Amino acid sequence: MIKKLLSMYRKKVFYKIFLLLLLATSIPTVILTTMSHESTRRLFQSDFIEYKKTLNNQIVNSIDENLQTMQKQSEALAYNILDIQRFLSYKPTTIDEGYFEAANRVNYFLTSILSNNDRFDGIGLLSLNGSIATYVNADGFTPQENSKIRIPGVEDTLINNGGPVITMMDLDQTMNSSIRNHKNNNVIGVLRTLLDYKIENKPIGISLFTQELSKFGEIVTHSRITEEDTVIILSDNNKVVFSNREQSPDSLQQLIERAEQERADKTNEQISFNWKDQFIIYDDSSIFEFKVITSVHRHVIEEKMSVVKRINFLLMTVLVISTIILSILLSNLITSPLIRLKKSFIQFQRGNFSVMIEAKGADEFAEIALGFNTMAENVHHLIKEKYEIELARRQSELESLQSKINPHFLYNTLSSIKAVIRDENAGLARQMVQHLSDLFRYSLNRGRFIVTLVEELDHVNKYLTLQKLRFGEQFRMTFDIDDELLSTSILRLTLQPIVENAILHGLENKTGHRLVHICAQTYDNELWIYIEDNGKGMDSRQADKMNAMLGDNPRTMLDSPTRDRVGIYNVNSRIKLYYGNEYGISILSAPDEGTIVKIILPLDRGTQL
C-alpha cells in the first residue's frame, strides 16, 4: 500500500501538490485546534469551579438569611406575653381550670403562628429550668412527661437574656411521636428568653422555634445541588447539619482537618483544593459559624468536558475535511492546465500535429499553452512540407521503378516474338504483337498506382495468353480467390512480374506438366497472396539469400549489383516504398519441387498515395 502511494506521489504532480497543500494547512489546523481545545478545557474547568464556588457561597448566605429570619420571627411571642406568662406561672401542684384556659389560648396562638409560617415545623415553650411546657407541631410530636432540654443552649439562652441562640436538637430525646420511626426527629432550633418588660425584663420562660434539618437543607440550597455534587453543611462544632448524600464520607474528619490546614495558609474565607480525585470547596464565612463543603469528583468535570471534546472533534473533522476539499480544488486548479498540456503532448506524439490547447486567462499556464500551439502549428507546417516533398520523391521513385519493369518485360516479350519470326510464323507473331500492345497500355498508365485485384488478374491472364501463343498449351494457370476479394485494392504490376519470373526461371526449361497457382486470403487487416509454381525450384541457401535481399531497405536492395530476378525485387521495392517496410515479399522453395512466393499487403489501403 505504501509503495503504491509512493509510486502515485512520484508519477503525479497532482498528488505532490495535494500532499504539500494538505500538510501546509492541516498541520497548523491540528495544532491550533489542539491549543484551542486545551485552552477551552482550562477555561471551562475554571468557569465550572467558579460556578460551584458561587453556589457554595450562596448556600452560606442562605444559611445566614434563614437563621436570621427564624430569629426575627421568633420575636412574635412578645405580642402575647401576658397569656404566655400566665400559662408558664402554673406549677403541677397549682393546676386548675384557669391553667387549661391559658394553655388553650397559648396553644391556639402558637398554632396560628405556625400555620402562617411554613419555615417552622414546631413552636414550644420551656420553663426557666428547661422543662418543656408545650410544643405545637404537625408531625405528631408531644412532650414526654417531665422532659427537659439538657443542652448548653438553655444556659446560653438565659445568659443572652432575650437574645436568640441557635441550637441543634434530637426530638427523640424529649418528645413522644405518634409516627413510628419518625425520620424528621433532628431539628435546628432558635431559643430566646421571654422577658417581662413591666418588671425590669424579668425572665418568665424560654421560647423554642424548630425547623427540620431536611427543610433547612431545602431552604438553604434552593435546589441548586446537582446529582454529581456532594454538599455537606457543618455546625460550629463540626457536626453534620445537612448532606445530600445518605451517608457522609468515612474520611470526613480527615477532609475537615485538611480544609482547616488549607484555611490556615490563606486569608480568603472560601478555599478550594484537590483531595482524593475530588475538587473541594470549603467556606466557613457564615456569621453563625456554619461551614459548607462542596465536593465535585474529577470525572464529573471530565464528563462535562466531553461535550467540549465532541465539539472540538467535530470542529477538527470539519476543518480537516474542508482542508482536504480545498487542497483537492487547489491541486486541480494548478494541475488541470498541466493535464490538458500532457494530453495534447500525447496526441502530438501520436502524430496529431493539428492539436491545440485552449488558453484561458493570462497567467503562466496560458503563455505555455500559446507557446505549445505555436510550436504545434510550426511542426505541422514543417511536417506537411516534408511529407509533400517525401510524397513527390516516393512517387518519382515508384514511377522510376515502374518504368524499369516495362523495358524488362518488353525485352523478354520481344525475344519471344523474335523466336516466332525466326520460325517464320507471321500469324502468331501478329497476335503476340497485339497482346503486347494491350499489356503495354496497362503498364504505361502513368499516375495510377492502385488497381483492383480483378484488374491485376486480368493483366496476368493476358500475359499468360501471350506466353501460350509462344509455347502452346504447355502452361496452365489456376486461381483460388474468393469473389469478395476481387474488389480489393492492390499495387499495379504486382502479380505479373512474379508470374513472369516463375515461367522464365522455374518452368521454361521444365519438361512435362507446367503449373502456376495463385491463391489469395485475408489475415487480420492484411491481404496474403501466394504464387506457386511446380518448376525446378532452388536450394535453401539461394532462397535464404533472396529473402535477405528482399528484407533489406528498398534503396539498398535496388543498388545491389545482382541482376537476377530483377522483376521480383522491383515489385518488393515498390511495395515497401508505398506501404512500408513491414510489407513485401518472401520466398519458400526446394530443388525440383517448385517455388512459393508470398506477398503481404495491407487490406484496402490502396488509396493512400
- Give the residue extent of every domain in the chain: 218-299, 397-602
pLDDT band for 387, please (50, 70, 90 cuts).
Answer: low
pLDDT, residue 480, reads 93
pLDDT score recorded for residue 42: 80
Strand partners, 409: none
Determine the pLDDT at residue 607. Answer: 46
- Compute φ and ψ for 195, nearest 5 degrees: -115, 145
Q: What pLDDT score does 9 carry?
A: 52
Q: How confident is the model at residue 393 (pLDDT cuts 50, 70, 90)?
A: low
Range with the poorest average pLDDT among 25-29, 134-138, 142-146, 440-444: 142-146
CB proximity list for 207: less than 8 A, separation 6 or greater = 74, 77, 123, 124, 125, 126, 191, 192, 194
Mean pLDDT value of segment 540-564: 71
Predicted local confidence at residue 86, as pLDDT: 87
Q: Can you tell me whether residue 591 is helix, strand or coil?
A: coil
Closest listed residue to residue 371, CA positions, set 382, 357, 385, 361: 357
d(CA 86, CA 97): 12
Band of the pLDDT at 459, cuts 50, 70, 90?
A: confident
Strands 165-170 and 186-196: antiparallel
Q: What is the pLDDT of residue 601?
A: 93
Q: Identify the pLDDT of residue 140.
A: 62
Is residue 381 exposed (0-12), middle (13-18) or buried (19+ Cβ within 10 Å)?
exposed
- Among 116-120, 146-150, 478-482, 488-492, the minimum mean pLDDT is found in 146-150
Classify strands 584-590 and 514-523 as parallel, antiparallel or unpaired.
Answer: unpaired
Asked which of 152-166, 278-292, 545-559 is least confident by mean pLDDT, the reply is 545-559
For residue 600, is pLDDT > 60?
Answer: yes
Banded model confidence at residue 38, pLDDT cuts 50, 70, 90: confident
At position 320, the amino acid (one-letter code) is V
Residues 510, 503: Cα–Cα separation, whole Å: 9
**pLDDT band at residue 339 using 50, 70 and 90 as cut-offs:** confident
DSSP 57-114: HHHHHHHHHHHHHHHHHGGGGGGGHHHHHHHHH--GGG--HHHHHHHHHHHHHHHHHH
Task: Assess whether pLDDT exceeds 90 at residue 530.
Answer: yes
The mean pLDDT value for 99-121 works out to: 87
**Residue 288 phi, psi (nearest 5):** -100, 15
Which of 63-72, 243-252, 329-338, 385-394 has maximum average pLDDT?
A: 63-72
Q: Considering only residues 36 and 557, tell me which one the structure prediction assigns the higher pLDDT.
A: 36
- If phi > 0 it is left, if psi is from -120 to 50 it is alpha, else beta; for residue 46 that is alpha
Mean pLDDT of the chain: 79
The answer to whether the beta carbons of residues 52 and 281 sit under 8 Å apart is: yes
C-alpha cell at 550: 528482399
pLDDT of the residue at 573: 85
**pLDDT at residue number 256:** 86
Across the range 283-305, mean pLDDT stands at 84
- pLDDT at 520 exceeding the cut of 90: yes
Beta strands in 275-384 (DSSP E): 278-283, 291-297
* C-alpha cell at position 181: 420511626
- Banded pLDDT at 215 (limits 50, 70, 90): confident
Cα–Cα distance for residue pair 226/59, rounded to 1 Å: 13
Q: At what angle do helices 298-349 and 364-422 cross, to 10 degrees?
A: 30
Place of cell 425590669: 200
pLDDT digits (tens, 9 = 90+) for 56-77: 888 899 999 999 988 888 888 8
Q: How far apart are CA 16 and CA 439, in angstroms?
A: 71
Q: What is the pLDDT of residue 149?
A: 62
- What single DSSP character describes residue 148? B
User: 141 - beta bridge partners?
Assistant: 177
Cα R_g (the chain), whole angstroms: 63
Residue 485: pLDDT above 60?
yes
| Residue from 271, 208, 269, 274 nearest 61 by CA | 269
**Phi and psi at residue 134, in whole multiples of 5°?**
-160, 155
Task: Output the pLDDT for position 479.
Answer: 92
| pLDDT band at residue 277 under the 50/70/90 scheme | confident
Question: Helix 426-443 and helix 453-471: axis angle, to 10°?
Answer: 160
- Report whether 604 contacts 489 (CB < 8 A): yes
Q: What is the mean pLDDT of residues 170-187?
A: 66
Rounded CA gap, 99 and 89, in Å?
A: 9
Q: What percent of the chain has pLDDT over 90?
A: 10
> What residues form DSSP beta bridges with 285?
none
* More confident call, 567 vs 455: 455
Q: What is the pTM of this model?
A: 0.51
Pick the residue with more confidence: 263 or 389?
A: 263
Give the CATH fold of the 218-299 domain.
Beta-Lactamase (3.30.450)
Please tell me which residue, 449 or 405, carries the higher pLDDT value. Answer: 449
Domain 397-602, CATH number (from 3.30.565.10, 3.40.50.720, 3.40.50.10190, 3.40.1440.60): 3.30.565.10
Residue 141 pLDDT exceeds 70 = no
Q: What is the 8-class DSSP label of residue 423?
A: T
The region of weakest confidence among 90-104, 381-395, 433-447, 587-601 is: 381-395
pLDDT tier, 531 (very low <50, low <70, confident <90, very high otherwise): very high
